[in-house]
Structure 1
Amino acid sequence: MAEPTRPGEARIRRFSLRLLVGAAVAGTGLVLILTIGVTRPGEEPAVSPPAAAARTVEPPPAATAPPPGRAAPEDRPRESDLAALDAWSNEVASATKLPARLLAGYGRAEMWMRAEWSGCHLSWATLAAIGQAEAVGTGPLPVPEEIWKQWAARAGGDGKPPDPADVDDAALTVARSLCSTGADLATAQGWWGAILGTPALAPQARLIFDTATTLAAAAPR
């Protein structure tokens, strides 16, 4: 026969259960750290940004998303991806006539987003098109102040603060902003919503779309 519960025991057990559940919920916040291939041994790993509220901007009638073009290299969590990224950026630079250093930054941001936000499907071609629309030339993407304040991140994982003059940091920051709603940028709804929902990019949306399409076609898979 089971021993009867003494007065007060039930209350203590319920309180203990609530503490355990609360600790478990708090613990899930720790499962945000991701190590991806562009984070070399000894560097600080990436942390997934929090999802923002979905944008409600509708795409133009019959709109499509730009094709992705040739994907950046696959992430290799336990070894450096730099050689593969350099080879990829040089090949894409030859096809698109864009600087390889810029393309490496765009490709690195695409790789990070695969790990941090796998459902975003952001292509380097969109980042490159934004850079072209903003007349970057051979420098980093211009990042609007409001985007930098909310989404700035250090792409190298070296513990230093993000730098808007750094090609990789700027590309990663814009990528995080575009993926922040959790939308799928491989779809018309997701892509146009991300671009049109960003005030600094909305006026250039059509140019960004056309440029991304041209770049993707120039560097096929």
Structure 2
Amino acid sequence: MMDVVTRQAATTYQIPRAYGAGRQPHRMPPRPRRRFRSFLVLMSSVLVGVVVLALASRLDELDRRSPRIEIPDGIPPGPGAPLPSIDVNAPGRTANLLHDWSAPLSESLAISSTALEAYGYAAAVMAATRPACGLGWTTLAGIGAVESKHGTYGGAHVDSDGQVNPPIRGVPLDGSAGVADIPDTDGGAMDGDATHDRAMGPLQFIPETWARWGVDANGDGVVDPDNIDDAALTAARYLCARGGDLTTEDGWTAALMAYNLSGEYLLDVRERAAAYSVGVRR
């Protein structure tokens, strides 16, 4: 922060030599207007200070009246706002059927409505096809937050059809510090790197995993890691297969560790998912 220097206005003037040689300089009387102006500035500052203090006091009072929402502890995180019943086999982008559910949540959670629809639809599909899994949309949202900020990492955005543009790609998995060593498995066809694999899309799948688990969730005939609908449902299938019963601590932990073998990652996802479960943005 830069320092501000206040200078006192001069009140002593000299007659310039241009007014005549030999004329003596003399002092001009202080200008009353400057003193009055200084008085106004001082009073304005006092009034602003009073207003600020009053506002701060009012906000503090409101804060005491409205206690902050506590983020629940424990694993697994809560399931969040219940999903309405929809026909998961409806044609086209079936996730659109969840718009009335996602719209009110979007602003409060700072997640696009399209991304929420994708998470909710994936959870609904698993509830219909693998009810014993018990996967909540909040877990998918927690992963999406950590992996790509819900498809917005690096200036990307999610289109209304679920497509993420520009495509999100991770660093080369070349074995450098903190990075796994995974030589290319797809000839660069999916991730654009013919030397090493890179994680792809809003849920950050590597090509080998996507080739096995990828699914078309929006009915466009393309299995695309850069589409958040396809990515969310693929993640849901993978988590349920690896964790079994995700309503238990052991099952949820096993699923998340299979997704990313990192305790720090698991806790990061859990914290975000738990926040979403009580309507708090992260």
Q: Same fold (TM over 0.5)?
A: yes
Q: In the superposition, relative to structure 1, how do residues 182 and 129 fare at CA in structure 2: closer, same or farther (>3 Å)?
A: closer
Q: How does 1:57-72 map to 2 (within 5 A)?
A: 63-72=74-83
2:212 corresponds to: 150
2:174 corresponds to: none
Q: Distance in 1 between matches of 2:240 and 2:89?
A: 25
Indicate the larger mover: 81-90 or 206-215: 81-90
Given candidates 238, 243, 247, the residue that maps to 1:177 is 238
Residues 73 and 84, structure 1, Cα contact 8 Å, conserved in 2: no
Q: Shift of residue 92 of structure 1?
A: 1.6
Q: In the superposition, relative to structure 1, how do residues 134 and 83 fare at CA in structure 2: closer, same or farther (>3 Å)?
A: closer
Q: How does 1:65-144 map to 2 (within 5 A)?
A: 65-76=76-87, 84-136=97-149, 137=152, 138=157, 139=164, 140-144=202-206
Residues 96 and 117, structure 2, Cα contact 8 Å, conserved in 1: no
With structure 1 as the length reference, what TM-score do the two structures score?
0.63
Quick check: 1:197 aligned with 2:258? yes
Give per-residue Cα distances to partners, 1:16-42, cap 9 Å, x unaligned: xxxxxxxxxxxxxxxxxxxxxxxxxxx
Q: Shift of residue 181 of structure 1?
A: 3.5
Structure 1 unmatched ranges of 5 or more: 1-61
1:216 corresponds to: 277
Q: Give the residue type in structure 1 aligned to 2:114.
A: R
Q: Distance in 1 between matches of 2:250 and 2:98?
A: 30
Q: In the superposition, relative to structure 1, how do residues 206 and 152 fare at CA in structure 2: closer, same or farther (>3 Å)?
A: same
Give per-residue Cα distances to partners, 1:46-81, cap 9 Å, x unaligned: xxxxxxxxxxxxxxxx95210111122213368676
Q: Shift of residue 109 of structure 1?
A: 0.6
Structure 2 unmatched ranges of 5 or more: 1-72, 158-163, 165-201
Q: Distance in 1 between matches of 2:274 and 2:267?
A: 11
Identity of aligned residues (%): 32
Q: Shift of residue 203 of structure 1?
A: 4.6
Residues 95 and 117, structure 2, Cα contact 8 Å, conserved in 1: no
Q: Shift of residue 157 of structure 1?
A: 3.1
Residues 122 and 175, structure 1, Cα contact 8 Å, conserved in 2: yes
1:206 corresponds to: 267
**Alignment RMSD, CA only?**
2.4
The number of equivalent residue pairs is: 157
Quick check: 1:188 aligned with 2:249? yes
Q: Distance in 1 between matches of 2:100 and 2:212?
A: 32
Q: In the superposition, relative to structure 1, how do residues 205 and 182 fare at CA in structure 2: closer, same or farther (>3 Å)?
A: closer
